[in-house]
Amino acid sequence: MLSRVANTLYWMVRYVERADNLARLIDVNEQLLLDFESLDSERLRGFWKPIILSTGDEEAFHELYDDVGSDQVIRFLTEDIRNPNSIVSCIGHARENARTVRDQLSDELWEELNALHLFSRSADASRLLAENPPRYYDMVRRASMTFLGIATSTTARGSGWDFMDLGRHLERADKTTRFLDISTYFPKGAEGLESASPGVLHWSAILRSCGAMGAFRTTRQEITAKSVINFLLFSPDFPRSVRYCIERVDASLHRISGSYRGTYANDSERESGKLLSSLNYGGVEDALDQGLHEFLDIMQAKLNKIAEEIFETYVLLPERIDLKPPEPRPVASAISDWHAPQTQKQQQ
């Protein structure tokens, strides 16, 4: 596959995932505020500012807006095309990427994404956002899930699919860490949630932002900081946990290169393997002992490193990769040594 096509498919899906996650985040926090109508402007700033900080777009926000209020933050994250990471901008970027590889996509997939793009730029969308925000964000979420479902059912399982799956799970892991990181930005009392069980309200909102409330309930745990952090970082089964996402990232990278799991053929596989290992053998105590913000900050840096190595390996200079003399293959584990002959037997 051409590196340009691979990169385009990767970013197409990553932008759709980003729009979906932002819609979840804004909708949940808007609805949470309905329970606290008495908040004054200062306490509202204390509520919304951490959300801007968690997205990493605080510099861009302050260049465009003077005040950190509900209207400003919601506009910036939803429909302000001056923000390259707003929902409307992300949908536009995804559609533009899809347009350049139109021949690689099914008709149904292109039509769904194009319809979402046209809706997001329409007067109907602006009117719906002003009159019924929950409905607007629900439509974005459902369109994103429909896009994913169509991609899953109409895309051949080749390198193109692997790059799409790679982008989706890298973005999802990044957003899960950022949702968890929101709480670390709140100054004491700034939430204005001094009523009973503020911790439950806050951590419930984070679970809902990640679409995790139903799955978390099946574990029959109480909603506490420790249980939610453990579930969203280290669950091996929940599709939006960081551990699950990195497992999928590592698997996609090895399918693309053809190398065996437990070994690495390039630096992107090496970085994903290191992060996966730390999640497989780590636990919530590690995050709390180190400090949640510091732990998540390091994890976000590792996710960025994986993305940089993917770009370096498959997009930036593919001709250099082809011409570079092969390096000695890392010593495979006992499992990999056993797996190779078994795979050959199955193919005979």
Structure-block tokens of residue 330:
């890392």
Distances (CA, A) of 272 to 198, 262, 299: 36, 11, 11
Q: How far apart are CA 308 and CA 286, in angstroms?
A: 26
- Asked whether residue 53 is assigned to any structural domain, the reply reads yes
Question: What is the CA angle 191-195-200, rounded to 5?
Answer: 75
Rounded distance between C-alpha atoms, residue 84 and residue 293, angstroms:
25
Q: What is the pTM of this model?
A: 0.84
Residue 327: inside a domain, yes or no?
A: no
Task: Give yes or no for residue 69 having a pLDDT over 80.
Answer: no
How much helix, strand and coil, in percent to the nearest 5, is found in the chain? 75, 0, 25
Over pLDDT 90: what percentage of the chain? Answer: 66
pLDDT tens digit string along 329-348? Answer: 444 444 444 444 444 444 44
Two structure tokens written together for 84:
């390259």
Residue-wise pLDDT for 102-121, tens only, equals 999 999 999 999 999 999 99
pLDDT digits (tens, 9 = 90+) for 258-273: 999 999 999 999 999 9
Range of the domain at 133: 1-154
Measured from the Cβ of residue 85, the count of other Cβ atoms closer than 10 Å reads 18
Query: Mean pLDDT across the chain, nearest whole number?
Result: 85
For residue 284, pLDDT over 80 is answered with: yes
Domain closes at, from 154, 186, 213: 154
Asked if residue 347 belongs to a domain, the reply is no
Which pLDDT score, from 0 to 100, does residue 2 have?
Answer: 82
- One-character DSSP codes across 331-346: PPPHHHHHHHHHHHHH
Residue type, 291: G
Alpha helices per DSSP H over 82-132: 87-100, 107-120, 123-131
Which of 336, 346, 231, 181 has its CA nearest to residue 273?
336
Taking residue 102's Cβ as centre, other Cβ atoms within 10 Å add up to 11
State whether 78 and 177 are in the same domain. Answer: no
Residue 348 lies in a domain: no
Say if 20 falls within a structural domain.
yes
In a domain? residue 160: no
Please count the helices (runs of H) and the strands (runs of E) in the chain.
18, 0
* DSSP letter (8 states) at residue 33: H
Lowest mean pLDDT across 191-195, 232-236, 291-295, 330-334: 191-195
Residues 222 and 111 in one domain: no
Angle at 165 between CA 159 and CA 170, to 5 degrees: 125
Residue 332 lies in a domain: no
Comparison of pLDDT for 276 and 26, the residue scoring more? 276
In the predicted structure, residue 249 carries a pLDDT above the cut 90: yes
| pLDDT tier at 50, thresholds 50, 70, 90 | confident
List, as one string, the DSSP characters of 39-90: --HHHHHHHHHHHHHHHT-HHHHHHH-S---HHHHHHHHHT-TTSTTSHHHH
124 and 195, same domain (yes or no): no
What pLDDT score was predicted for residue 316? 81
Instruction: Give how many domains the chain has, as a whole number.
Output: 2
Question: Based on the domain organization, do 253 and 224 belong to the same domain?
Answer: yes
Task: Report the C-alpha gap between 136 and 126 in whole angstroms.
Answer: 9
153, 245, 318 from 85: Cα distances, Å: 28, 21, 28
pLDDT of residue 212: 93
